[in-house]
Amino acid sequence: MSAQTFCLEHLETPTGRLLVVTDADCRLRAVDWEDYHSRMEELLDRYYGAGTRLREARRLSQAARALADYFAGDLDAIADLPTAANGTAFQLSVWAALRQIPVGETVSYGALAARIGRPKAVRAVGLANGANPIAIVVPCHRVIGADASLTGYGGGLHRKRWLLAHECGGRPLFAERLQEAR
């Protein structure tokens, strides 16, 4: 596999500076926070070949505009963004299932495994979720623990909490309501 060149944009968000990577066909290839730039590059190299290059975009992409709108409150702005990700057939099935989780809702890893017809593959679903290169748009932040706990998130739990609260319109998260009830 030969390395590819993608466009890189920087977007200021309430949770930090976001990196947005698109290809020549305007498809989203990666989204991550600037403080996780090295992890994003590692994922790009894994999926597209060592030495994948990023060049600064000349103009704002549809993806960057949609993500800005999402952070400004238009939660549906990212729903139909074209994406392209390389991965195994299993990873692609998990990532497709993630895009089917409605805004403002969460599912457990077990429920996600069941949705893709592999109910015993909970751990593998977790690994595929963690290897998702397109954060937010492929909403891995909507996956929680079986006990409704906010489990790991590549961008940090503080960002996962913020994203879920943002999508719930500021209502307390289910996990927080559950903790308060105990």
Which positions are annotated as active-site residues? 140
Q: Is 93 helix (H, G, I), strand (E, B) or coil?
A: helix
Residues 57, 60: Cα–Cα separation, whole Å:
7
DSSP state letters, 64-80: HHHHHHHHTT-TTTTTT
Strands 53-56 and 16-22: unpaired
DSSP state letters, 51-68: T-EEEE-SS--HHHHHHH
